[in-house]
Amino acid sequence: MINKLYFSSENKQIQQHAFESIKKEQPTIGYYTLPDQDISPILHYYQTIPDKINTIVVIGIGGSSLGAKAVYEFVKPVKVLKRKLYFFESTDPINITTLLSKIDLENTHFLVISKSGTTVETFSIYKYIYSLHSNPSSYTFITDPNSPLEHYAKEIDASVLHLPNNIGGRFSVLSTVGLVPLALCGVDIQALLNGARIVKESFFNDGYLKDTLLKKAAYYAKNHAHYHINCIFAYSESLKYFCEWYVQLWGESLGKHQRHSAFHVGLTPIGLIGPKDQHSFLQLIMEGTRDKSVTFIKIEDFNDAITIPDISLPHLESLDVLNGLPFEKLINMQCDSVMEALLNENDIPIDLISIPKTDEANIGSLIFYYELLTSLVGELIDVNTYDQPGVEAGKIILKKKLQE
């Protein structure tokens, strides 16, 4: 991947501070080690799932589902996968019923994912599905060691896999949480990790992405009170769920009290898909309040060569300029045109991430890039990037209501 910035941030002292802080926290923040992990235990687990299983279901919410969904939906259109993957992540009864209508319970394996082992949404859904299909061999539980969920799984003699230490849910996609369901569906998880490792090594070993990431983080932090809305404008439908993952990562990591003050700070994430959102949200970016930065993401090779037919339509001859144009060229021309329009405004900070093609390595690179960027910005706006007290407060109130 290539990231080109169309704004400048020259404060080398701040950038060096951010880099040193990230290096210092590596031993205690688990996600940094994930690109280098040994995946042989996951591949061994893969062999325990019977060939008759044609569907994998993840029962989990937030960090337990969004990352794997982002990767799956990115590679699914261009790769023949072994199994279908569905996600039960909402207590919406219509959603639950609709998803259940799409699967054959006898040929489905369920992954129940909860770090704490007591997630309300996850276990309300699990209880319902278990009431319909109570075969313990159809379930694998992914949780922290010695959690209540692990004790339950052992009680019913079901499989248990553990989460690595010191990894929050929104940073867990490259751990057991994401790799297990992806591997079971035939996604090349080693290629996924290799892509992440390229970004990690480039950043920590003075490669081409180090300077870019530091400049971008420093700019966002310096201007976080002015440009406090960060938009991803991704020109591919396959990146829709990556945008959803980014919204959780950015919002849950950066919306906090500052560590050394009483101020509330945060950067608001917006996920957009082009060209569709050119006809809606772009108007707000172009002529609305100047409080937004925009990161464009485009794919150079969509692995699909379909073209616009050489057809002339009566009264629409002006559109003959489209004839013979590959769709992948058209969508990238649309991306470039919107970028140029925003650059002409002079006061909207933008940058471009170019992805060579749609595959596991490139989505792995993009994921780790955004995890690093999140950590850097969190350090520079003086927040604890890795906790989520605002989320926990709502959970505590819900549990009290349920007890009452």
Active site residues: 252, 279, 395
* Whether the bond into 41 is cis, omega within 30 of 0: no
Closest CA to 204 of 390, 400, 375, 396: 375
Kindly tell me the burial class for residue 311, based on how many C-beta atoms sit within 10 Å of its own C-beta (0-12, 13-18, 19 or more).
exposed
Question: Residue 359, SS3?
Answer: coil
Phi, psi (5° rounding) for residue 59?
A: -105, 105
Ramachandran region, residue 203 (left: φ > 0; alpha: ψ -120 to 50; beta: rest): alpha
Structure tokens at 233: 């404008």
CA distances from 43 to 2, 27, 196, 248 (A): 31, 26, 19, 29
Task: Give the C-alpha separation, 43 to 56, whole Å.
Answer: 16
Helix axis angle for 93-100 and 120-132, nearest 10°, is: 40
Closest CA to 292 of 267, 266, 264, 255: 267
Amino acid code (one letter) for 86: Y
Dihedral sign for Cα atoms in the order 396, 401, 403, 404: positive
Task: Give the C-alpha separation, 5 to 140, whole Å.
Answer: 44
* 389 and 101 Cβ atoms separated by less than 8 Å: no
* 263 and 289 Cβ atoms separated by less than 8 Å: no
